[in-house]
């Protein structure tokens, strides 16, 4: 089965074909690091991590680049508020990004370039655009001349006239045309700046990603991704300046995830309508939050609520409970064959969902169908190791593709719980009921629920 990808540029699903057979080059816009990211910001991190993992599952080698914008007006403002330099602000929130992204099982990118470390490439890119007649200097600023690029507006489906009429452009007397956008901004007094042929300053937002993508992935890439709010102006401007420079298609497929809303309104730091991932991780396991974000197709909006989070928690626990039951029955089940489990049927259903524009929602439905059949088998009086192992391996395989398996750090806790359960069993055998009760209370405080079954003690997390 071939992978179909919805391309924002053509507004239709297309057969995925990589530029280089067996390899995928992906660039995903990363955060501007001036604050903790909210759960809406987390969606593209999780979604494109899921897409990357599925390509790898299908045998592709993925070169995945996600940048950090580490110089920006908001970073400078936050530095003034916290008494930090812009670099100290960026370092602080990059560290926090990795901590929170790790909790959501988001793998590190192949490269995480920072704008401040790529200044030479950015300046050279701007010089090239000026030499080609696509950009001009104006009192220390440099602007891209949108009238020189015939395809401007093709990604967002707008014309230059509509953009001006809709006032979707930043007005400035320094521009030739109001749709032109800044490639280089001259320094303001007291601001961080870099030397350039046009005087001290710093890059505009859009040029950063074009320069870094070209440095780390080359002139053409397979996928450029980000939130739908980046379609215009950010991705539109990236496309224009890159293709004006190379005269080649920048990205074959442009992919955009929908918003996470709060109270039916888009999450936004500027309006104060947001919940940080960091705060939510104090209440919910990162795997549950990832499960929540992947339970809807990435192009459909998610309206976050406590009820939705609790439903995601219950849904995920249904899967993990099945895993625990399978492992528990395996300990005492007689040997047997796995041919009673139609692995191809389950794998076909899972991959059909993922091949259809990475439909993680339907993929999770396929996992639930598998879990339901496994639960029916578990209710049988006679079970065999082969079938139990087949169900277990399939569930774990699919969870691994979506990075929804138990977190690595749980291994130490599992060993601790197993040791306490063994100690409790020994205490009960020796009729040391006091110690047995103490251990149960200790496990309860750890969030562990014990269940006595005919096959022995089974445990699970609350």
From the annotation, which residues make up the binding site for ATP?
269
How would you label 318-350 residue by residue, b for 16+ Cβ within 10 Å and e otherwise? ebbebbebbebbbeebeeeebeebeeeebeebb
Which of 223, 243, 296 has its CA nearest to residue 40? 296
Q: How far apart are CA 340 and CA 330, in angstroms?
A: 16
**In a 10 Å sphere around its CB, with 0-12 CB exposed, 13-18 middle and 19+ buried, how is residue 280 labelled?**
buried
**In a 10 Å sphere around its CB, with 0-12 CB exposed, 13-18 middle and 19+ buried, how is residue 245 labelled?**
buried
Q: How far apart are CA 369 and CA 371, in angstroms?
A: 5
Query: What is the total residue count of the chain?
Result: 462
**In a 10 Å sphere around its CB, with 0-12 CB exposed, 13-18 middle and 19+ buried, how is residue 94 labelled?**
middle
What residues form the annotated binding site for Zn(2+)? Answer: 29, 209, 234, 238
What residues form the annotated binding site? Answer: 29, 209, 234, 238, 269
SS3 assignment, position 56: helix
Q: How far apart are CA 300 and CA 260, in angstroms?
A: 9
Cα 333 off chain centre by: 40
DSSP string, 161-209: HHHHHTT-S---TT-SSTT-EEEEEEPPTTS--B--TT-SEEE-HHHHH
Question: Long-range contacts: 165-169, Cβ < 8 Å, 24+?
Answer: 168/232, 168/233, 169/233
Q: How far apart are CA 290 and CA 403, in angstroms?
A: 8
Question: Long-range contacts: 321-327, Cβ < 8 Å, 24+?
Answer: 321/460, 322/371, 322/374, 322/375, 322/378, 322/395, 323/392, 323/395, 323/396, 324/458, 324/459, 324/460, 325/375, 325/378, 325/458, 326/374, 326/378, 326/388, 326/391, 326/392, 326/395, 327/392
Tell me if 276 sits within 8 A of 29, measured CB to CB: no
Which residues touch 161 (CB under 8 Å, ≥6 apart)?
none
* Residue 451 to residues 324, 436, 459, Cα–Cα distance (Å): 11, 14, 6
Q: How far apart are CA 318 and CA 314, in angstroms?
A: 6
């Amino acid at each position: 089965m071939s992978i179909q990808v919805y391309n924002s540029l053509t507004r239709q699903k297309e057969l995925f074909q990589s530029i280089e057979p067996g390899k995928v080059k992906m660039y995903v816009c990363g955060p501007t690091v001036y604050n903790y990211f909210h759960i809406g910001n987390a969606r593209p991190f999780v979604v494109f991590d899921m897409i990357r993992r599925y390509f790898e599952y299908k045998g592709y080698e993925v070169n995945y680049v996600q940048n950090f914008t580490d110089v920006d007006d908001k970073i400078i403002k936050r530095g003034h508020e916290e008494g930090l330099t812009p670099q100290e602000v960026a370092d602080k929130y990059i560290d926090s990004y990795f901590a929170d992204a790790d909790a959501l099982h988001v793998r590190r990118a192949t490269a995480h370039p920072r704008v401040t470390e790529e200044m030479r490439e950015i300046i050279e890119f701007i010089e090239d655009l000026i030499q080609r007649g696509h950009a001009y200097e104006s009192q220390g600023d440099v602007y891209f001349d949108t009238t020189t690029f015939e395809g401007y507006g093709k990604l967002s489906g707008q014309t230059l006239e509509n953009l001006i009429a809709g006032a979707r452009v930043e007005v400035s007397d320094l521009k030739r045309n109001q749709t032109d956008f800044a490639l280089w901004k001259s320094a303001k007094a007291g601001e961080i700046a870099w030397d350039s042929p046009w005087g001290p300053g710093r890059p505009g937002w859009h040029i950063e990603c074009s320069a870094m993508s070209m440095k780390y992935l080359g002139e053409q890439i397979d996928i450029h991704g980000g939130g739908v709010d980046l379609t215009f102006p950010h991705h539109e401007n990236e496309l224009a300046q890159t293709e004006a420079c190379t005269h080649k298609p920048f990205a074959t497929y442009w992919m955009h995830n929908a918003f996470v809303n709060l109270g039916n309104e888009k999450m936004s730091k500027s309006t104060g309508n947001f919940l940080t991932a960091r705060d939510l991780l104090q209440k919910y396991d990162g795997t549950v939050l990832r499960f929540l974000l992947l339970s809807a197709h990435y192009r459909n909006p998610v309206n976050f609520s406590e009820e939705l989070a609790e439903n995601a928690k219950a849904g995920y626990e249904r899967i993990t409970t099945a895993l625990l039951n399978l492992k528990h029955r395996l300990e005492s089940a007689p040997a047997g064959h796995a041919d009673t489990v139609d692995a191809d049927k389950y794998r076909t259903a899972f991959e059909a969902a993922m091949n259809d524009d990475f439909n993680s929602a339907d993929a999770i439905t396929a996992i639930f169908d598998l879990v339901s059949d496994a639960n029916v088998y578990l209710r049988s009086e006679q079970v065999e190791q082969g079938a139990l192992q087949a169900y277990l391996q399939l569930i774990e395989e699919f969870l691994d593709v979506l990075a929804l398996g138990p977190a690595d750090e749980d291994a130490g806790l599992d060993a601790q719980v197993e040791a306490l359960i063994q100690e409790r069993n020994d205490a009960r055998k020796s009729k040391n009921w006091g110690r047995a009760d103490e251990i149960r209370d200790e496990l309860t405080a750890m969030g562990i629920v014990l269940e006595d079954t005919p096959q022995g003690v089974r445990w699970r997390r609350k």
